[in-house]
Amino acid sequence: MPVFIVDFAYSQQHPDSQTMPADKADVYRHFSKMRPDQQPALKFVQRADQITVPPNVPVAVVVPIDLFAALPHVLDPDVHFCILAKRGLAVSGLPTPPSTVVDVALPLDQLQDDTKMGQEISCMLELIDTYNTPFVVKLPQSVAAMGTFAIRSDDDRERVKAILSTHMRLMLKQINAANYHLNPCSLIFQNFVSGTEVALSFFVTQTGRCIFVGCFDQEFDKQGRWTGGSISYPDQPALKEKYAATMEKTAKFLHEKGYYGPAGVDVLTDSQGNQYIVDLNVRLTGLCHLGFLKGHFTSRGLDVASTVTGFFTCSREKVEEIFCNEFQMGSLLIISWSYDDSMKLSCGAIGVGGKTASDIERLAARMQEYTTPGGHC
Pairing relation of β-strands 41-45 and 2-6? parallel
Average pLDDT for 202-228 = 90
Tell me: pLDDT of 28 over 90: no
Round the average pLDDT of the chain to a whole number and report it.
90
Of the pLDDT bands very low, low, confident and very high (cuts 50, 70, 90), residue 25 is confident
Of the pLDDT bands very low, low, confident and very high (cuts 50, 70, 90), residue 200 is very high
Q: How far is CA 164 from CA 115, 178, 190, 241, 298, in A?
A: 17, 24, 16, 40, 46
Q: How many residues does the chain have?
A: 377
> Who's near 296: CB < 8 A, 6+ residues apart?
330, 333, 353
Q: How far apart are CA 91 and CA 88, in angstroms?
A: 5
Tell me: pLDDT of 144 over 70: no
Q: How far apart are CA 211 and CA 46, in angstroms?
A: 36
Q: What is the pLDDT of residue 207?
A: 96
Average pLDDT for 24-33 = 81
* C-beta separation of 352 from 331 below 8 A: yes
Q: How far apart are CA 27 and CA 34, in angstroms?
A: 12
Task: Report CA Rg, the chain.
Answer: 22
Of the pLDDT bands very low, low, confident and very high (cuts 50, 70, 90), residue 15 is very low
Domain range summary for the chain, segments of one domain joined by +: 2-83, 96-191, 194-287, 293-377
Average pLDDT for 126-141 = 94
Q: How far is CA 204 from CA 64, 269, 282, in A?
A: 18, 23, 10
Element (H, E) at 353: strand 345-354
Task: Give the least confident one: 5-19, 134-148, 249-263, 311-325.
Answer: 5-19
Average pLDDT for 114-131 = 95
Element (H, E) at 196: strand 196-204
pTM of the predicted model as reported, rounded to 2 decimal places? 0.88
Tell me: pLDDT of 19 over 70: no
Element (H, E) at 329: helix 324-329
Q: How far apart are CA 346 and CA 337, in angstroms?
A: 7
Of the pLDDT bands very low, low, confident and very high (cuts 50, 70, 90), residue 374 is low
The tens digit of pLDDT for each residue in 341-366 reads 788 898 899 999 999 999 999 999 99
The tens digit of pLDDT for each residue in 179-189 reads 999 999 999 99
Q: What is the pLDDT of residue 244?
A: 98
* C-beta separation of 330 from 350 below 8 A: no
Element (H, E) at 6: strand 2-6
Tell me: pLDDT of 106 over 70: yes
Q: How far apart are CA 323 and CA 65, in angstroms?
A: 39
Task: Give the least confident one: 50-54, 276-280, 331-335.
Answer: 50-54
Dihedral angle of Cα 26, 30, 36, 41, to the nearest 10 degrees: -50
Q: What is the pLDDT of residue 105?
A: 95
Q: What is the pLDDT of residue 339?
A: 84
Tell me: pLDDT of 12 over 80: no
The tens digit of pLDDT for each residue in 77-97 reads 999 999 999 999 999 999 999
Q: How far apart are CA 221 and CA 216, in angstroms?
A: 17
Q: What is the pLDDT of residue 9?
A: 60
Tell me: pLDDT of 372 over 90: no
The CATH number that domain 293-377 falls under is 3.30.70
Q: What is the pLDDT of residue 373?
A: 65
* C-beta separation of 309 from 376 below 8 A: yes
Q: How far apart are CA 74 and CA 138, in angstroms?
A: 28
Q: How far apart are CA 191 and CA 135, in angstroms?
A: 5
CATH for 96-191, options being 3.30.1490.20, 3.40.50.80, 3.40.50.1820, 3.30.590.20: 3.30.1490.20
* C-beta separation of 217 from 200 below 8 A: no
Tell me: pLDDT of 192 over 60: yes
Q: How far apart are CA 93 and CA 62, in angstroms?
A: 24
Helix intervals (H) in 193-280: 236-242, 244-256
The CATH number that domain 194-287 falls under is 3.30.470.20
Q: How far is CA 99 from CA 146, 223, 244, 276, 278, in A?
A: 19, 24, 24, 12, 10
Angle between the N-to-C axes of helices 154-172 and 114-125, in degrees from 0 to 180, rounded to the nearest 10: 140
List the end-to-end C-alpha distance of the chain, in Å, as a whole number.
27
Average pLDDT for 167-194 = 94
Q: How far apart are CA 75 and CA 84, in angstroms?
A: 12
Tell me: pLDDT of 44 over 80: yes
Pairing relation of β-strands 275-281 and 261-269? antiparallel
Of the pLDDT bands very low, low, confident and very high (cuts 50, 70, 90), residue 8 is low
